[in-house]
A and B are shown apart, each in its own frame.
Chain A
């Protein structure tokens, strides 16, 4: 059974810092991995999707990497801003199903 874990559960940093959010999964047989952002009480916004054959994806100040063999992904945020404050969720999709399995998220606070 696939399990997804995100560490840390919460993170508080001063504005301008570079930071890394971690995601691990127990079954390496995945179709893809997706990182989402969720603002309080809101839906999910897709940030980056990495197919199982890819190693990383970049969008602006965000870079996500995938190491399928070790069951790990990281989301790197460069030069953090207060507007980056939100909960970040990673989710994996298995090979035989369209469902996403989510971690519990990392809640990020960027202080001005």
Chain B
């Protein structure tokens, strides 16, 4: 158990809809990152938040957006869902300056029909 939780565990949406995924980090971890993992692939970095500000972004369009809250929770929002958005979405938290191991949650499996 890493102490990082994600909800929901599974989700089915239709193309064009919007989705919000949630992550609760470990206490004291002020950095959270989101990754997308397509089937059979390694995770791809979406973006990172540090102290509630975006602190780096991967090659994902603006319809992927996020928020980080003072209580160490965060959200990933995806608008105008496309079929290719079907994937496992992982969040990872880390304590800045302590070896910087990233601790991953169990993920949310999103299926877009």
Contacts and interface: CB of A to CB of B under 8 A. Distances in A.
Interface of A: 4, 31-32, 34, 36, 41-46, 49, 51, 89, 91, 93, 97-105
Interface in B3-60: 4, 6, 31, 33, 35, 40-45, 48, 50, 55-56, 58
Interface of B is mostly: strand
B90 A93 contact: no
A34 B35 CA distance: 15
Nearest to A48: B101
B18 to A, nearest CB: 24
Contacts of B101: 34, 46, 49
B66 interface: no
Given A89-B42, A99-B56, A44 B99 contact: no
